[in-house]
Structure 1
Amino acid sequence: MRILIVSDTHKSHVNLEKVLKQTEHIDTLIHLGDVEGREKDIEALVDCPVHMVRGNNDFFSELPREEEFFIGGHHVFITHGHGYYVSMGEERLKLEARGRGADIVMYGHTHVPALTVESDLVTLNPGSIAYPRQQGRRASYILMQVDEVGKADFEVCYI
């Protein structure tokens, strides 16, 4: 199973469209917020399930603030992250994820990619596919692959 994880498109889908063309088949798209009213446009780009949450710039959005679901036996918790003050660190988010029994937590907001693998929790941020802020400012996303026995692997990718 292949999952494309993106965040912080802020109405700019050029790089998302590029990645979707380059990436072979995906089974699920996860968007971690700041779509700015372009939910339907993003959903129309793919022919697979889409999980999308509301970010701090998604004013008047009806998207959920958070979502929990399962992928290949993994309990996934997604949020934009601003409500957990991720700009100051991941501690509150990790505490919440563990309290919910999640073993994978995904967030956006910082526009900086991050991937931390601990024995009980994977914490990841795909960065921004449209407006990156890390050194070098390369647009980023994460590809998650889950094999037939449920083992999940993550790759931070750059455009």
Structure 2
Amino acid sequence: MKVLIVSDTHGRDENLELAVNREAPFDMLVHCGDVEGREFYIEALADCPCSIVSGNNDFFSDLPREDVIDIEGNKVLVTHGHYYGVSMEFDQLVEAAREKGCNAVFFGHIHVPVLEEEDGVLLVNPGSLAFPRQRGRRPSYAVLETDEKGGMHVEIRYL
């Protein structure tokens, strides 16, 4: 299974379109928030099952605050992260994932790519396709692929 993970597009679709076209075909798209009203466009663009959560800039949105999805037997918490203090540390986020029985969490908000494991929880932040904040400020996203045993292999990719 191949999953495209994006975040913080802030209503700017050009780099999202580039990432979708570069990575197609994929089986699922996960957006970790701050779509700014573009959720229907994103779902149509992806043309596959999507999990899209609300971010701190998704005012008046009907999107869920978070989602728990299954990826080949892996339970994954999808959230924007701002309710869990991710700008400072990931402890609350890891605790929330563990409480929900998740072995991975996909999040956004900080506009910086993160790929690490903490207390048995895989943390994935794809960075931002619109306003990257890491050194070099290259727009980024993540691609997850599962192996035959359901193992998750994630890579941060840059435009």
TM-score by length of 2: 0.97
Aligned residues: 159
State the 1:119 CA deviation.
Answer: 6.3
State the distance in 1 between where 2:81 and 2:155 align. Answer: 20
> Which structure 2 segments of 5+ residues have no match?
none
Which residue in the other structure is 2:146 paired with? 146
Q: Does 1:41 align with 2:41?
A: yes
SS in 1 for 2:87: helix
Q: CA deviation at 1:19?
A: 1.2
Q: Deviation at 1:93?
A: 0.5
Report the CA distance between 1:24 and its aligned residue: 3.1
- Pairwise CA RMSD: 0.9
**Which residue does 2:136 correspond to in 1?**
136
Match of 2:112 in 1: 112
Pick closer, same or farther for the CA change 1:91–1:118 going to 2, 3 Å. Answer: closer
1:53-72 aligned at under 5 Å gives the runs 53-72=53-72
Secondary structure at the counterpart of residue 77 of structure 2: strand
What per-residue deviation string (whole Å, max 9, x for no partner) do you get for residues 52-92 of structure 1? 00000000000000101211000000100000010011111
Q: Which residue of 2 aligns with 1:74?
A: 74
Whether 1:93 and 2:93 are equivalent positions in the alignment is yes
Q: Which runs of 5+ in 1 are unaligned?
A: none
Task: Provide the residue aligned with 1:4 in structure 2.
Answer: 4
* CA distance, structure 2, for counterparts of residue 72 and residue 24 of structure 1: 19
Compared with structure 1, are the counterparts of its residues 93 and 118 closer, same or farther at alpha carbon in structure 2 (3 Å cutoff)? closer
Say if 2:3 and 2:145, in contact at 8 Å, map to a contact too. yes
CA shift for structure 1 position 94: 0.6
Identity of aligned residues (%): 51
Name the CA distance, whole Å, in 1 between partners of 2:127 and 2:27: 21
Distance 1:78 1:44 in 2: 20
> What does the per-residue CA deviation read over 1:103-143, in whole Å, with 9 as the maximum and x for residues that have no partner?
01111000000011246210110000111011100000000
Q: Is the 8 A contact 2:94 2:118 kept in 1?
A: no
